Amino acid sequence: MDMDGLKRQAAAQALEHVRDGMKLGLGTGSTAKHFVELLGMRVRDGLSVIGVPTSEATRINAERCGIALTTLDEVDRLDLTVDGADEIDPSLNLIKGGGGALLREKIVAAASDRMIVIADDSKWVDVLGRFPLPVEVIPFGLAATRRAIGKAFAQCGDSGQMVLRKGKDGHVFVTDGGHWIVDAHLGRITDAPRLAGLLTSIPGVVEHGLFIGLAGMAVLAGAGGIRVVERR
Ligand code: 5RP
C-alpha cells in the first residue's frame, strides 16, 4: 500500500473513537485531511458531531464535507482532537507544524480532553529532531528572536541551522495568524520538554512545534498493519 493509503488507514482507525454528540478538534495536513473526509462520510450517514478546525485549509475541507463547525469561543472543552504529526517519539511527544498550522493545532489540542495522533509509521522516531523544528515568530525583531532561540538551543546542548520558511511562490511563508516560521535543523533534540519550556519563554516566539504531553494515543499505519501506542 502507498503512503497515502497508510495515512487513510490510520485515519479510519481513529474514527472508531468518535461517538455521537462529540465536540472534535480537526487537525491539519494530508493525514488529518483523510480523517475529515471519512468523518464527513459518517456525518452524511447521520452521525452528529461538531468540529473546531485547526487551519483555514481544514475549515474549507470540513465545510465541503458537510461537518458542522464551531469555535473555541462558543464551546468550552473538546472531547477529542485527531491530528497528524511530523515526528512521534516513544513518550508520544511530537514535532508538528510542517504544514504551518502549529499554533492553532496546539490551542485546539490543549482545549481537548484527548488527542489522538495519526500517521504512517515513518513518523515514529527514537529521538525527536530529524524533522526541522518549526518555531512560529513575530516578524518584528526577527534577528533578536533568532539569537534568543539559538541561546535556548545552546542551553540544551543542541545546535543547527535556522531557516526562515518560504512558500511555494518563493515569498516568506505567512501563517494563518499572520506570523512567520523559522525551521530549526537540529538533527537531534537532547531534552524536548526542557527546550519546549525555554522556547515558550522567548518574547517574539508565538509558538513552537514541540507538543509535549498532549497526545494520549498514536495510531501508526505501516506495511505490517496498524500499531496503536498509548501514553504511559
Ligand atoms: C501541520 C502539521 C501536520 O499534522 C504535520 O505536518 C503532518 O502532516 P502530514 O499528515 O501531511 O504528514 O503539523 O501543521
Q: Is the minimum distance from the CB of 27 to ligand 1 under 6 angstroms? A: yes
Q: What is the pTM of this model?
A: 0.97
199 vs 137: CA distance, rounded Å: 11
H-helix or E-strand spanning residue 189: none
Query: Ligand 1: does its nearest atom lie under 6 Å from the Cβ of 79?
Result: no
- Rounded CA-CA distance 125/47 in Å is 35
- Structure confidence at residue 169 (pLDDT): 95
Is the pLDDT at 1 greater than 80? The verdict is no
Task: Give pLDDT tens digits for 113-133.
Answer: 999 999 999 999 999 999 999
How do beta strands 217-222 and 115-120 pair?
A: parallel
Q: Walk me through the domains of the chain, giving residue ranges and CATH numbers.
A: 3-125+213-223 (3.40.50.1360), 133-208 (3.30.70.260)
Catalytic residues: 105
**Rounded distance, CA 211 to CA 193, Å?**
9
3-state secondary structure of 73: coil
Give CA–CA dist 80/63, Å, rounded.
19
Which residue bears the cell 475541507? 61
What residues contact 15, with CB distance under 8 A and at least 6 apart? 35, 38, 39, 42
pLDDT digits 0-9 by tens, 44-101: 999 999 999 999 999 999 999 999 999 999 999 999 999 999 999 999 999 999 999 9
Ligand 1 pocket mutation pick from 54, 56, 94, 96 by most atoms within 8 angstroms of CB: 96
Angle at Cα 61 formed by Cα 87 and Cα 24, nearest 5°? 65
Q: State the Cα–Cα distance between residues 103 and 126, nearest whole angstrom.
A: 25
Mean pLDDT on 149-170: 97
